[in-house]
Amino acid sequence: MLIPCPHCGPREVSEFTYIGDATKVRPAPDASADAWSDFVHARRNPRGRHAEHWQHTAGCRAIVRVTRDTVTHAVYGASLAGPWGEGEAR
């Protein structure tokens, strides 16, 4: 599987480390222990197109938001995560 790093171009998935679901919303700092436990431990296992965070650990070290199909592993694009993300790499 190739992941299109916005800085380095298409790279093998072995250069990346999976960080987690990019759709989870972080609770407020004063949220209940149950809300934090759910954020840290509860995971969905979606089927189909899904947004994930990956880090390019063997390259530029950027954290990338990747849109990928969890069934076929087709990658539809990637962008830098956080406020640095502007356009999609293909």
- For residue 54, the tally of other CB atoms under 10 A from its CB is 23
Per-residue pLDDT of the chain (90 residues; tens, 9 = 90+): 999 999 999 999 999 999 999 998 999 999 999 999 999 999 888 899 999 999 999 999 999 999 999 999 999 999 999 776 655 554
Domain locations in the chain?
A: 2-84
pLDDT at 45: 84
pTM summary value:
0.81
- Written out in words, the top-level CATH class of the domain with range 2-84 is alpha beta
- DSSP letter string, 17-81: EEEEETTPPPPPTT--HHHHHHHHH------SEEEEEEE-TTTT--EEEEEEETTT--EEEEEES
Q: Cβ(21)–Cβ(44) under 8 Å?
A: yes
